[in-house]
Amino acid sequence: MTMSAEQRPVVLIGGGGHAKVLLDIARLTHRTVAGVLTLEDDNTLPLATLGNDDRLRDRSFVAAHDFFVAIGQTQARRRIAETLAEHGATLATLIHPACVVAADVEIGGGTALVAGIIVNSGSKIGQHCTLNTACSVDHDCRLDDGVQIGPGARLCGGVICQEDAFIGAGAIVIEGRMIGASAVVGAGATVVSDIAPKTTVIGTPAREMILQTFG
């Protein structure tokens, strides 16, 4: 008999600080966590180490578990996400019970919503996103795959964050703005205009950070 998604244990990929938060969410939502696949980091969790990402080549292992990429570094997350897709792995979605999420919100596999988050109606959240403590996503926002939202950040209505965009802690993005792919919004910044892909902005209002060279 094939296990349902509710029955399959979760395997965390990565065993650092972010994984500790995800383990807590899994336990609060009554998901069994089988153990950890480690990468470069050590397993700091009170869980068995099941090997490294080479285990994803084991079809029976992949079929018996759901998986969650519990690492914060964007490039590593992307690499592991692609490996999971290649091997047909099922992605767990972890939502802390202390979140408020509108009934019509779409949330992709491998995404985590940490405690205290509000996501309002009409919003869509892609795969492998991380929404951190007490951030808010207002109505009709779109977060593409790999987006990370820092603690206490605020997205007003209709904001679009393209793939792998990063919104720092306490930042504010006003309504209708677009944050380009792999762009970085610094902590505490206030975004009042669209941000180009692969651009880092800081300050209020947010402006592109220009690195100065001396010589």
Residue-averaged pLDDT of the chain: 91
With 80 as the cut, is the pLDDT of residue 100 above it?
Answer: yes
| pLDDT for residue 79 | 84
What is the spatial distance between Cα 174 and Cα 193, in angstroms, rounded to a whole number? 8
C-alpha angle 146-147-153 in degrees, rounded to nearest 5: 155
What is the spatial distance between Cα 146 and Cα 168, in angstroms, rounded to a whole number? 14
> Measuring CA to CA, how many Å separate 13 from each of 36, 38, 44, 95, 214?
6, 6, 12, 17, 41
| pLDDT for residue 212 | 54
Domains along the chain with CATH numbers: 10-92 (3.40.50.20), 93-201 (2.160.10.10)
Q: Any idea which residues carry the catalytic annotation? A: 139
With 80 as the cut, is the pLDDT of residue 214 above it?
Answer: no
| pLDDT for residue 82 | 86
pLDDT digits (tens, 9 = 90+) for 184-193: 999 999 999 9
pLDDT digits (tens, 9 = 90+) for 49-92: 999 888 988 999 999 999 999 887 777 888 888 888 888 899 99
| pLDDT for residue 43 | 80
Share of the chain above pLDDT 70, in %: 94
Identify whether the C-beta of residue 148 lies closer than 8 Å to the C-beta of residue 167.
yes
pLDDT digits (tens, 9 = 90+) for 127-170: 999 999 999 999 999 999 999 999 999 999 999 999 999 999 99
Please tell me the pTM assigned to this model.
Answer: 0.88
β pairing state of 200-202 and 207-208: antiparallel
